[in-house]
Amino acid sequence: MAQIKASIKSIRKDIKITAANASVKSEIRTAVKKAIAAAGTEQETESLRSAISVIDSAERKGIIHKNNAARKKSRLNARIKAQKA
Residue pLDDT, tens place only, 9-67: 999 999 999 999 999 999 999 999 999 999 989 999 999 999 999 999 999 999 999 99
Rounded distance between C-alpha atoms, residue 62 and residue 56, angstroms:
10
Do the Cβ atoms of 64 and 55 come closer than 8 Å? yes
For residue 54, report the phi and psi dihedrals to the nearest 5 degrees: -65, -40
Quick one: pLDDT at residue 48?
96
Asked whether the whole model's pTM tops 0.85, one would answer yes
Rounded distance between C-alpha atoms, residue 69 and residue 55, angstroms:
6
Quick one: pLDDT at residue 1?
82
| Burial class of residue 79, CB neighbours in 10 A (0-12, 13-18, 19+) | middle
